[in-house]
Structure 1
Amino acid sequence: MSASNRNRTTLAILETSDVHGHVLPIHYANNQPYEVGLAKIATLIDRERQINPNVILIDNGDLIQGTPLTYYHARIDNRPPDPMVQVLNHLSYDAAVLGNHEFNYGQDALGKAIRESNFPWLSANLVKSGSDEPFFGQPYLLKKLPGGITAAILGLTTHYIPNWENPHHIAGMEFLDAVETAKRWVPILRERADLVIVSYHGGFERDLETGEPTEKLTGENQGYQLCMEVPGIDVLLTGHQHRSITGTVNGVVVVQPSYQGRALGKVSVELEQQAGRWVVAAKSAELLSAENVEPDAEVVELVRPYEEKTQIWLDQPIGKIKGDMLVHDPMEIRTKDNPLIEFINRVQMAYGQVDISNTALFDNEAPGFKPDVTMRDIVANYIYPNTLRVLRVTGQDIKDALEQSASYFAPYDGGPITVNPRFTTPKPQHYNYDMWEGIEYRINISRPVGERVVMLRYKGQPVKPDEYYEVVMNNYRAGGGGNYFMFQGKEVVRDIPTDVSELIASYILERGTIEATCDHNWEVVHD
């Protein structure tokens, strides 16, 4: 069938989501090849446009943060146009949706990126406090297509952002419920358009087939509710969870294209004329993998000046490590005290001016620190632009947080220690398992979840449930991110607005040589 005729036409909706600053197919920890990035996705986009020129191209959020390339631009040299926006401009994107990580570098950096965009940024439920006026961008886009077809794209952003983000970065904003916002806008767009697309930077908290909860129902991922509770949606583009999803829920075609530019989401929609107007006759979704795809040469060249500066910065020497601070086995790191985690905690304690800290090994690709440390090593291990916050919490809060971390481990069955599927499915969440310094504790994974902390002391004495302690942690955790609700709303003693990666670099630079030490203050055991 041809792409179109007088009474029937086919269009393609192409989606990227959670690209997180990846353009080139390299791993910044070692510059080795990596099957990701917008340069590869650009080749796929070009192929699709050659097949069918009737294309709508949307980025679904978490675009401008996530790699040393974007960090260098945001924090070191923010004068040139944003490199990620430059790529989207070059590829003629129709729209982008605000994701939660768009706010990580603050309103000035985000506002600059939006001003530099040749496309609108959408988010109907992100408004100025006390009004319905969009804080950034616009609620929706109406796109005219050949044959007199009108497509409406409604942008929505997970409204859970205030639980994670630095309050300064979202000052003056209000995040409305995504489902309630859709209920308001979709009927309006249904009257104005032949095709209604919702692009939601959020995912699914329920099984797509059964509707059963697959994670704690916090409202962070309302994709299923959008399909079930908001009539009139034809296509739902999703993201945030980094999942690979295609399917149909309650007649709504849904797609989620993984992350880092590993795949391009594609929804094919056939429309036909009935009684003088266009109606959807058929629709389907698929994922187009970037694996083994040749990068687009023009995109590679476009980011070359940014990349050259970033690579020079990454190879700057910072200092030396005396001893072993490498990651040999991520699970071993998470089951007993080790020099790498102890070091990061001690950096946090120094800048937080307290003697209790928690942090995580964010993913299983963290390499640790080599004897000669560069900025590349730091950003390879501390991959998020977190800042620090000191909270005043109770001993009970500390115990509850340790129990939440202890749930990371699956019930012990006598074999190798394994991870609770809740921390791996639908996406890896190793960053939600914390390890502490400044207290002594023991976790027994042979015991039921919620009863695993079998020893907890501070300065040799039992931690008292009703006594207060000052603890330094990253801003994501301090806001309750990762289901650490015990930290929500707690008194903020001190806010350290500098990125943790910068603090680590400064700490090493000031001392020159760091000794890998380990006081063995905690361990995971089993019967």
Structure 2
Amino acid sequence: MSEPLRSISRRALLQGAAATGALIVLHPFSASAAANQAHLRIMETTDIHVNLLPYDYYADKANDTLGLSRTASLIEAVRKEAANSMLIDNGDLLQGSPMGDYVAYERGMKEGDVHPVMKGMNLLDYACSTLGNHEFNYGLSFLDKVLAGANFPFVCANLIRGTEKAANPRDDKLYLKPYLILEKRLKDGAGAEHPIKIGVIGFVPPQILVWDAKNLAGNVLTRDIVEAARAWVPQMKEEGADIVIALSHSGIDIKQADMMENASYFLAGVEGIDAVFTGHQHLVFPGKKDFQQLAGVDAEKGTLQGKPAVMAGFWGSHMGMIDLLLERDGGKWRVVSATSEARPIFERVDNKNKAVVEDVRSVVDALKVDHEATLAYVRRPVGKTSAPLYSYFALVADDPSVQIVSQAQSWYLKDILKSTQWKDMPLLSAAAPFKAGGRGGADYYTDVPAGDIAIKNVADLYFYPNTVRAVEITGAQVKEWLEMSSGIFRQIEPGKADQPLINTDFPSYNFDVIDGVTYRIDLSQPPKYDAKGNVINAGSSRIKDLMFNDKPIDPAQKFVVATNNYRAGGGGNFPEINESKVIYEAPDTNRDVIVRYIVAEGTINPSADANWSFLPLPETSVVFETGAKARDFISQVKTLKIEPAGEGENGFAKYRILL
């Protein structure tokens, strides 16, 4: 006997709206469906990453841009707009916030335990989910225990148990069921109910075998997403699936290759698939920002090769929806029209984030104990720092808060690249100061004292939720990277006193320091690039004495540079640094990498190694502003002659550098 979809009659809808005084607007498909037609809304959450409540554990404060308890309010609201609805999840549930690490590393999972993610999701009537790449971060045994606590099924068609692939993908010994045929009942435009078979198939990025080799090697294999789909979707149709939806924990890329990480575009082209739910990239589709001007991708309508698709952001930031108008013909249903939407849980008002929904209280209550335990976890030391971490002088001297980020990135990538073709290539690391005053104000600086360091201190070190990337570039491109970075400094006239040093139009997060090379900056030269990456002085060369291994850098030598997804994707418009140079896209955030590095090291040594400095300019001085507490750290800056130069504006202090 088939189960009814979540449905609502028009009379009940109108009565509910009248009782609450709320205006609930039916989707056009529900409002206009004929007797032989039905509206089905399929809702998606994706990339929750254990962000179950609107709380940033790294920063140890509330955050209105995230939280499944907030997304749950959207689930309740959008169900009321549709005659029939079902809810799915697209993976990346178990890792990504300190709550996930707390459960995995501290509390553990015993047989019969219910993971906090499942406590929340079990309250929301999910129909199905697939696996994301982060489900494997804590090992297969951990994953199995978590899945046992879900009251909804998981599917994955390209994860193979064991170490052998079959000649035919249908003969693979899969880790989970490849798909499900959900037998439901649909309410049509006249209010009558009819049976429908909804096929749900899931996919995970094949790259999990690289990203989590230590957990997966010798235990599982993966298959190409599109190859697996072409094998299994026909069987789903043979078993009577009226429609087939793909849960693709994979992003959108139109450059085809084998074993693609982001294969959703090509998955949409598989015959028999009616709708694609995407994720993994932490972007929003449809929308006005992401995936513009890609052939075959309609970012306004939300289609891939003409098929409806959606990507619902990350951390619960959006609810994804695909609305299908189905028509019944000879006892079978087919899609006659579709729309897509990614609806946010917050909006930007006066440059601030404002919640547009409230928490679902049942979810909050179910997670109260886990939330309090996670707070205790992030506030407890996980390591030590042998020196203070501060950013008061990050724009004028090599800095410990930037140094530790570079060290963590190099530590992480060195281990990953050791089994790749880049294992013997020199590894550099680029990082920039995020909290360096500016518009953030006179208190907007990193300031972590020597001694114990807790997980929540990592937000002080790395403000943004970037993910790690590696790019392959030449020595000549390393120099141009640094030329662009040095644009934060004004041109200085030799022999003149107290000239303003910092170009305040140049954001500090674009002032990259590259560790692994040494160099000096000639401030007497004009900047080659402006703050937007435009060449303004083609013949200028500020970067002097650029050395690798104590020798002048070879312009033709190849280097791997550790950075973040913003820079590697072209953020900041650095010369020739873009996605074409990316050789590795890590699944982990820079924050998580820093935490792992601290835990692994026990005691970190963030002392700056003074790999860059200013070229001396006799009888010349410059001034800059920084936080008032900078006075406590002047003695630790060994590469500069710095002295107080009075008070700045708005609480800042002014300092002088004798060049």
Q: Do the two structures share a fold, i.e. TM-score over 0.5? A: yes
Deviation at 1:398, TM superposition (A): 7.8
Deviation at 1:270, TM superposition (A): 1.9
Deviation at 1:248, TM superposition (A): 2.2
The answer to whether residue 477 in structure 2 is matched with residue 377 in structure 1 is no
Deviation at 1:119, TM superposition (A): 2.0
Deviation at 1:267, TM superposition (A): 1.2
Q: Which residue of 2 aligns with 1:152?
A: 199
Match of 1:300 among 364, 389, 403: 364
Contact 1:325–1:339 under 8 Å retained in 2: yes
Give, in whole Å, the separation in 1 of the partners of 2:613 and 2:45. 42
Deviation at 1:455, TM superposition (A): 6.5
Are the structure 2 counterparts of residues 126 and 350 from structure 1 closer, same or farther at C-alpha, using a change threshold of 3 Å? closer
Deviation at 1:223, TM superposition (A): 2.0
Give, in whole Å, the separation in 2 of the partners of 1:217 and 1:441. 41
SS at match of 1:148: strand
Contact 1:263–1:288 under 8 Å retained in 2: yes
The answer to whether residue 242 in structure 2 is matched with residue 242 in structure 1 is no
What's the RMSD between the two structures over aligned residues?
4.8
Give, in whole Å, the separation in 2 of the partners of 1:306 and 1:401. 51
Are the structure 2 counterparts of residues 472 and 169 from structure 1 closer, same or farther at C-alpha, using a change threshold of 3 Å? farther
TM-score (norm 1): 0.73
Give, in whole Å, the separation in 1 of the partners of 2:251 and 2:78. 25
Deviation at 1:460, TM superposition (A): 1.5
Give, in whole Å, the separation in 1 of the partners of 2:580 and 2:482. 11
Q: Which residue of 1 aligns with 2:325?
A: 270
Are the structure 2 counterparts of residues 256 and 327 from structure 1 closer, same or farther at C-alpha, using a change threshold of 3 Å? farther
SS at match of 1:91: coil
Give, in whole Å, the separation in 1 of the partners of 2:99 and 2:307. 36
Contact 1:321–1:369 under 8 Å retained in 2: no
The answer to whether residue 87 in structure 2 is matched with residue 57 in structure 1 is yes
SS at match of 1:342: helix
SS at match of 2:44: strand
SS at match of 2:122: helix
Are the structure 2 counterparts of residues 386 and 103 from structure 1 closer, same or farther at C-alpha, using a change threshold of 3 Å? farther
Higher mean C-alpha displacement, 410-419 vs 171-180: 410-419
Unaligned runs of 5+ in 1: 207-212, 388-395, 420-429, 477-481, 489-497
Q: Which residue of 1 aligns with 2:177?
A: 138
Q: Which residue of 1 aligns with 2:125?
A: 92
Match of 1:48 among 51, 72, 78: 78
Contact 1:62–1:100 under 8 Å retained in 2: yes
Match of 1:519 among 610, 613, 624: 610
Q: Which residue of 2 aligns with 1:260?
A: 315
Match of 2:242 among 194, 206, 211: 194
Cα deviation 1:421-448 (Å, max 9, x = unaligned): xxxxxxxxx99x9965343258986699
Cα deviation 1:379-405 (Å, max 9, x = unaligned): 664799999xxxxxxxx9784797599
Which of structures 1 and 2 has the bigger CA Rg?
Answer: 2
Percent same amino acid at aligned positions? Answer: 27
The answer to whether residue 547 in structure 2 is matched with residue 457 in structure 1 is yes
SS at match of 2:367: helix
TM-score (norm 2): 0.60
Q: Which residue of 2 aligns with 1:314?
A: 378
Are the structure 2 counterparts of residues 84 and 231 from structure 1 closer, same or farther at C-alpha, using a change threshold of 3 Å? same
Q: Which residue of 1 aligns with 2:23?
A: none
Contact 2:475–2:558 under 8 Å retained in 1: no
Give, in whole Å, the separation in 2 of the partners of 1:14 and 1:363. 39
Deviation at 1:196, TM superposition (A): 1.1
Give, in whole Å, the separation in 2 of the partners of 1:362 and 1:139. 44
Q: Which residue of 2 aligns with 1:422?
A: none
SS at match of 1:233: coil
Number of residue pairs matched by the alignment: 473
Cα deviation 1:331-369 (Å, max 9, x = unaligned): x69xx843223234457889989xx86556599689745
Q: Which residue of 1 aligns with 2:620?
A: none
Q: Which residue of 2 aligns with 1:225?
A: 266
Matches within 5 A, 1:121-520: 121-128=154-161, 129-131=163-165, 132=169, 133=172, 135-146=174-185, 147-191=194-238, 192-206=240-254, 219-227=260-268, 229-246=269-286, 247-291=302-346, 292-317=356-381, 319=384, 325-326=390-391, 337-346=398-407, 358-359=428-429, 361=431, 368-371=446-449, 373-378=453-458, 381=461, 399=474, 403=478, 406=481, 436-440=514-518, 457-462=547-552, 501-505=595-599, 507=601, 510=603, 516-520=607-611
Deviation at 1:519, TM superposition (A): 0.8
Are the structure 2 counterparts of residues 122 and 522 from structure 1 closer, same or farther at C-alpha, using a change threshold of 3 Å? farther
SS at match of 2:60: coil
